[in-house]
Amino acid sequence: MTRFAVSSLWEVIASVRVVKQPHLFPEHLPWSGRVRPRLAGLDWRLLADLVQIPTLVIPPFVCPPPATSQPTLDVELATLVASPPEAVRAGLDALTGPRSARLAALYTDPVAGLTRLAEVIQAYADVAIAPYWPRMRTLLEREVLLGAQRMATDGVHGLLNHLDPYVRLEADTLRVDHIVLTGSVRLDGRGLLLVPSIFTGPRVWSNFGSPGQPVLRYPARALATLWERDPVPRGRGLARVLGRTRATLLHELAVPASTLELADRCGLTQGTVSQHLSALRDAGLVGAHRAGRFVVYARTTAAETLIAASGADAP
What gap in Å lies between CA 298 and CA 287, rounded to an integer? Answer: 5
Question: What angle, rounded to 10 degrees, do the helices at 8-20 and 133-160 form?
Answer: 100
Residue 306 lies in a domain: yes
pLDDT value of position 311 = 65
Which of 191, 219, 247 is where one domain is finished? Answer: 219
200 shares a domain with 260: no
**Which H helix or E strand runs over 294?**
strand 294-299
Do 220 and 196 touch, CB atoms closer than 8 A?
yes
User: Given 3-state DSSP classes, what are the helix, strand and coil percentages for the chain, each rounded to the nearest 5?
Assistant: 50, 15, 35
pLDDT value of position 62 = 96
pLDDT value of position 122 = 96
pLDDT value of position 234 = 52
* Count of residues making up the chain: 315
Which residues sit opposite 133 in a β-bridge? none
Which residues sit opposite 170 in a β-bridge? 173
The phi and psi torsions of 284 (rounded to 5 degrees) equal: 80, 20
CA 108, 111, 116, 121: dihedral to nearest 10 degrees?
110
157 shares a domain with 38: yes
**pLDDT per residue as tens digits for the range 183-234:** 788 887 778 999 999 999 988 998 887 767 889 999 998 887 788 654 455 5
Residue 157 lies in a domain: yes
The phi and psi torsions of 186 (rounded to 5 degrees) equal: -85, 125
Residue 240 lies in a domain: yes
pLDDT value of position 221 = 86
266 shares a domain with 214: no
Residue 315 lies in a domain: no
The CATH number that applies at residue 306 is 1.10.10.10
43 shares a domain with 13: yes
Q: Closest Cα to residue 228, out of 132, 292, 94, 160?
A: 132
35 shares a domain with 163: yes
Which of 219, 244, 261 is where one domain is finished? Answer: 219
**Which H helix or E strand runs over 155?**
helix 133-160
236 shares a domain with 201: no
Residue 224 lies in a domain: no
Q: Map residue 186 onto helix, strand or coil.
A: strand
The phi and psi torsions of 122 (rounded to 5 degrees) equal: -65, -45
**pLDDT per residue as tens digits for the range 143-162:** 998 899 889 999 988 999 88
249 shares a domain with 213: no
Which of 170, 197, 219 is where one domain is finished? Answer: 219
201 shares a domain with 234: no
Residue 13 lies in a domain: yes
237 shares a domain with 176: no
Q: Peptide bond before 54: cis, by omega within 30 degrees of 0?
A: yes
78 shares a domain with 197: yes
Do 240 and 222 touch, CB atoms closer than 8 A?
no
DSSP for 70-103, written as a single string: S--HHHHHHHHHT--HHHHHHHHHTS-SPPPHHH
134 shares a domain with 112: yes
82 shares a domain with 36: yes
pLDDT value of position 315 = 34
The phi and psi torsions of 113 (rounded to 5 degrees) equal: -65, -40
Report the number of distinct structural domains present in the chain: 2
Claim: this prediction has a pTM higher than 0.85:
no
- Domain of residue 81, residue span: 3-219
DSSP for 208-260, written as a single string: -SSSSS-EEEEE-S-GGGTS---SS-S-SHHHHHH-HHHHHHHHHTTS-B-HH
Task: Please list the ranges in the chain whose pLDDT falls under 70.
Answer: 179-181, 211, 228-236, 290-294, 311-315
**Which H helix or E strand runs over 277?**
helix 270-282
